[in-house]
A and B are shown apart, each in its own frame.
Chain A
Amino acid sequence: GEDVEQSLFLSVREGDSSVINCTYTDSSSTYLYWYKQEPGAGLQLLTYIFSNMDMKQDQRLTVLLNKKDKHLSLRIADTQTGDSAIYFCAEKGHNNAGNMLTFGGGTRLMVKP
């Protein structure tokens, strides 16, 4: 089946930039997403990118997509302590009839004051 991989952990200092990386195997992915999960909560959709785009910027968030390498990244500028959470990337493949998402295992971001 399709697979999405993320590194487990990232630690940064407040004010620095954070870059969270993700790789996926489904070459037919149509949309790729980034979600944020805070302790005890559900998933918050942060941003998404369509597979024919290379980059998308939304305020402090920048998404880069390298479709050739099947690599997705999320850059958070001026990282704040409130950004501490688990970040999941997810992909939606072209070959699934519905809207099933395949998630990575999540990257825990810790922001030090």
Chain B
Amino acid sequence: DAGVTQSPTHLIKTRGQQVTLRCSPKSGHDTVSWYQQALGQGPQFIFQYYEEEERQRGNFPDRFSGHQFPNYSSELNVNALLLGDSALYLCASSASSGAFFGQGTRLTVV
């Protein structure tokens, strides 16, 4: 079992650009959530996808959008990047016993 996999591992973008991050959930999991973890803080919930639809959303602007594919993999898109978007972006796939996280994508906006 490969667990939750994310790509890329690191990314550097310029302010104003757009970025797409990718996630494949743990085998057998159909729900994918995305979290943003700023340096020195706990993860903050962005949104969750289930059956290819956004099921729940945290307090993030519309610049943050996502997608889930029929194979349950997911993308996180961020438009018009700001310096404050620099963070570790974590993907999690869910079971009742807990959410299992990938290693994250470290996004740096310069």
Q: Which residues of A contact B31 (CB under 8 A)?
A: 98-99
- CA gap between A88 and B97 in the complex, in Å: 16
The 8 A CB mask of B66-102 against A (1 = contact, 0 = none) is 0000000000000000000000001010101111111
Distance of A36 Cα from B99 Cα, bound (Å): 13
Number of interface residues of B (CB under 8 A): 27
Smallest Cβ-Cβ distance to A105: which chain B residue? B42
Query: Are A103's CB and B50's CB within 8 A?
Result: no
Q: Write the chain B residue with the least CB distance to A89.
A: B42
Contact of B50 among A45, A48, A96, A98 (CB under 8 A): A98
Minimum CB–CB distance for A65 against chain B, Å = 15
Q: Say yes or no for A43: interface residue by CB 8 A criterion.
A: yes
Which residue of B92, B97, B98 has the most chain A CB atoms within 10 A of its CB atom?
Answer: B98
Would you call A105 and B101 a contact (CB within 8 A)?
Answer: no
Q: How large is the interface on A (under 10, 10 to 19, 20 to 34, 35 or more residues)?
A: 20 to 34
B63 interface residue (CB < 8 Å to A): no
Binding site for A on B (CB under 8 A): 4, 31, 33, 40-45, 48, 50, 55-56, 58-59, 90, 92, 94, 96-104
Give the 9 A-B CB pairs with smallest separation, nearest first.
A103-B42, A98-B56, A43-B101, A99-B94, A42-B103, A42-B101, A98-B48, A98-B55, A45-B98
Additional 6 contacts, C-beta under 8 A, given A31-B98, A43-B92, A100-B56: A45-B98, A97-B56, A98-B48, A101-B92, A106-B41, A106-B42
